[in-house]
Amino acid sequence: MSVELPIYLDNHATTRVDPRVVDAMLPFYSEDYGNAASKSHAFGWRAEAAVEIARETLANAIGAGSPREVVFTSGATESNNLALKGVAEMRRNRGDHLVTVATEHASVLDPCRYLESRGFRLTVLPVDRDGLVDPEAVRQALSDATILVSVMAANNEIGVLQPLEAIGAICREREVLFHTDAVQALGKVPVDVDGWQVDLLSVSAHKLYGPKGVGALYVRRRRPRLRLVPLLHGGGHERGLRSGTLPVPSIVGFGRALALCEAERAAEARRLQGLRERLRERLQGELAGVRLLGHATRRLPGNLNVAFEGVDADALIVALHDVAVSSGSACTSATPEPSHVVAALGLERGAERGSVRFGLGRFNTQEEIDYAASRVIEEVRKLRGAAPS
């Protein structure tokens, strides 16, 4: 079978919108185009009904007690900001201490640092060499002034699945609110707000073959019932937590994308894990000095992040012009620096420079994985100064 180039292996950054999702969205641009907040006519009623179907789909997928616990947002960045800032402002009279982890996404770490600049105290916990945070470290970090703990479910760079059940139990025991960024987890692994004992959970559509620009925040309404200070004020949409006209087509797409992921999740996880292991075995079997980053088994089925000894990741990515992957490093204008996630693993000096993330997804085939493996092996050998065999 021929392979169409270029090959996309950056599905943790974003995903292609599934054609079935596009088909579900299209009528809400041209036929059922009403405003979901318009209560006086059929156009608005149909739009509202479609939104509520998507809300119920999301609530069911995460095990929420009620669809009313789902608040639609513009994406995970807004959801994380609403969760962190909303809790901090609402509960400031109860305490001023926040706890998070060094490998969190910037949309968690940056709001935390903003709150720190506003007088809150922040504890940022380290991870071990596999990228896991120790639940006991969370317990030790808590104090009577702690109001919120935020730990992501699945890391966007190294794919590590954090021990949320254990952390959630500790937070519930100490009556501290628990938030998780579940953007990379939803649709790929089971998500259970009660099993994890989370009070707030952030998700986004574009990581699971849905449209960009729409996400959601789960806000627990029972045991405990949460109240947040909103970021946006206006028409009082989403029960006052997120004012603004709802993007009905995008929300419909979110619901359809998630329904497809949930229906196909178990089989797709097995398929992606098989492709991931095929890629890993090729790379480690034919190249020396290939190090897996992140826990070997506690990781997303489609995630592979490896460091190539003696190879600069940015140079490798440039050479792989026909395979779309991403680097574990972020470059400034002059000096390349390792990503904060890779740096937190405590690798030997220089090892993080060769970190490359492969994000496998729904539309990738075995033929694409074999082609990508061959191209990576070829270019690593070139960069190391060895002629390809």
Neighbours of 238 (CB within 10 A): 21
pLDDT above 70: residue 335: no
Q: Give the strand order in the sheet containing 355-359.
A: 290-292, 303-308, 355-359, 326-327
Residue linked to tokens 């509520």: 52
pLDDT reported for residue 277: 98
pLDDT reported for residue 352: 64
pLDDT digits (tens, 9 = 90+) for 238-255: 886 898 999 999 999 999
Residue 333 banded pLDDT, cuts 50, 70, 90:
very low
Quick one: CA dihedral 133, 89, 229, 175, positive or negative?
Answer: positive
pLDDT reported for residue 336: 57
Rg of the chain over all Cα atoms, to the nearest angstrom: 22
pLDDT above 70: residue 1: no
pLDDT digits (tens, 9 = 90+) for 93-126: 999 999 999 999 999 999 999 999 999 999 999 9
Residue 386 banded pLDDT, cuts 50, 70, 90:
low
Token pair for 144? 């009577």
pLDDT reported for residue 351: 65
Q: How far is CA 280 from CA 276, 285, 352, in A?
A: 6, 8, 18
pLDDT reported for residue 388: 45
> Which residues are designated catalytic?
331
Q: Is 252 helix (H, G, I), strand (E, B) or coil?
A: helix
pLDDT digits (tens, 9 = 90+) for 353-383: 779 999 999 999 999 999 999 999 999 999 9
* Nearest-10 crossing angle of helices 366-383, 248-286: 50
The larger pLDDT score, comparing residue 193 to residue 327, is at 193
pLDDT reported for residue 225: 87
Distance CA(289)–CA(211), nearest Å, equals 38
pLDDT above 90: residue 148: yes
- pTM for the whole thing? 0.95
pLDDT reported for residue 337: 64
Amino acid at 70: V
What residues contact residue 200 under an 8 Å CB cut-off, 6+ apart? 83, 87, 177, 178, 179, 180, 217, 218, 219, 220, 226
pLDDT digits (tens, 9 = 90+) for 118-130: 999 999 999 999 9
Q: 57-61, 308-312, 332-336: lowest mean pLDDT where?
A: 332-336
| Domains of the chain, earliest start first | 7-15+265-383 (3.90.1150.10), 19-259 (3.40.640.10)
Q: How far is CA 69 from CA 115, 153, 220, 251, in A?
A: 25, 19, 6, 15
pLDDT reported for residue 332: 37
